[in-house]
Structure 1
């Protein structure tokens, strides 16, 4: 007789669609599937993109995003919510308005601002709303160095010591945990720094030489979301997520997707 006592956790991603399949909603859902959680999705924008460029962005209306949220939550028990590309101040406001009414919300925020090809994915006026209204609801925020610098209105750090100081300043904006990603540091070392309000934890990493890094930020945040939904504490969730994304990047060249920045291999542990 089978044991049905364990229920697969349900998680939700609120983000944009990547027609090339490497980032956004598509990367999130692939990561959730690879790590054993069920993924629902609320789409904030459609993009026409491939591995080389974002040719166009077609935003979904905030009202329709709210309708998607209401419909999902009315039927599905969501353990953890992850946000990615939100795009505009009105969109951030709509997401905040709904999520602020969700009991026991555990929210992972990937503050998507710039695509791998350099296209702006968050309007300047939306940054202030994200800081003032979304970050106080946030369990963990996962910015890279350019995003963190934009949130704080300062230059990017050029050292691990600078990253540690930046993580503390980000935490002071009102989030519970900060995961600051060091992939933009110069040199062969690219650690991530977690600050939980008390302790700074460094997750070391040697840079992997590959052009296929599209969707790394989405994938890492989604992996953290999956492991949190499975009940892991934040430091353990981040550690396992870091292991997953590192292996996905190492296996990225096994894929043959496009002529630009290809995706990581989300299913390296399955295929």
Structure 2
């Protein structure tokens, strides 16, 4: 390795993305999925761990929230040294953690914030205390450039029945717009009877539909974590919101399509983050 430094005219800035989320010991969701997705889509990942879960493809057996003081020290450590362009927020287990993360985001003001309001795991396990949902809505969601709820999460946020078809999913749009949020990506993956998996990107002035052919596989663990991280990665690379979401949707669709190439666990296995080798996914 040469000891000569690269001339400044040849140096390029690195697109740094921070993920603030819980750790998944099974490697399919949470921080582990986030780092894989950010890396696979061509950005540099750093992390702040908010909770440690004992988890595998069959479910979550324990959750240990990281003490607030240490969450704060992690946040200060990365923000005071790294040029973080985009932040993705995932699992925040309680109200105090949500308040701390919101306060630190206000302090450091990254260019982009994507919030995946993680409440329920693919296995059905509850990952967010019910009492913390109101704190999430009042403290964190208003700061986000984009929130990415799936249908159960959107139902919880709007206190609505769970949509069962395209019509009831569309009916949820107005209720989501009434939340104090800038933009919403409402994900339709839970409508398993539909031929396509259709998401609604709900912007202030319009709705964009993003549709992909539904892939029938049980290996969908970590899809929400992966998608939101990919979108944050593409935002960090200079794409506008609409384009970043399109690229993220394309990436997660291919990662699901190639999920059965992996043999991981006996339950809901992970998506294939590195289906395209080590090349950037575009």
CA distance in 1, matches of 2:214, 2:262: 19
State the distance in 2 between where 1:164 and 1:11 align: 32
Query: 1:206 pairs with 193, 210, 213, which one?
Result: 213
Go from structure 1 to structure 2 and tell me whether the alpha carbon gap of 1:260 and 1:202 turns closer, same or farther (over 3 Å shift).
same
Q: CA deviation at 1:5?
A: 4.8
Is the CA contact 1:164–1:200 (under 8 Å) kept in the aligned structure 2?
no
Q: Out of 224, 231, 235, which is 1:224 matched to?
A: 231
Q: Determine whether 1:254 maps to 2:261.
A: yes
How many residues are paired up?
271
TM-score by length of 2: 0.92
Unpaired runs of at least 5, structure 1: none
Q: Distance in 1 between matches of 2:175 and 2:10?
A: 45
Task: Report the CA distance shift for 1:104/1:171 in structure 2 as closer, same or farther (over 3 A).
Answer: farther
Q: In angstroms, what is the RMSD of aligned CA positions?
A: 1.5
Residue 241 of structure 1 corresponds to which residue in structure 2?
248
Tell me, what secondary structure is at the counterpart of 1:58?
A: strand
Question: CA offset at residue 248 of structure 1?
Answer: 0.4
Give 1:104 deviation, angstroms: 4.8
> Is contact 2:84-2:110 (8 Å) kept?
no
1:17 and 1:118 map into 2 onto residues whose CA distance is: 17
Q: Which runs of 5+ in 2 are unaligned?
A: 1-5
Instruction: Kindly indicate whether the alpha-carbon contact (under 8 Å) linking 2:86 and 2:110 is maintained by their aligned counterparts in 1.
Output: no
Q: Distance in 2 between matches of 1:165 and 1:159?
A: 10
Task: Compare CA radii of gyration and give the structure with the larger one.
Answer: 2
Counting only pairs closer than 5 Å after superposition, residues 88-107 of structure 1 correspond to structure 2 as 88-107=94-113
Q: Is the 8 A contact 1:99 1:105 kept in 2?
A: no
**Distance in 2 between the 1:75 and 1:167 partners?**
39
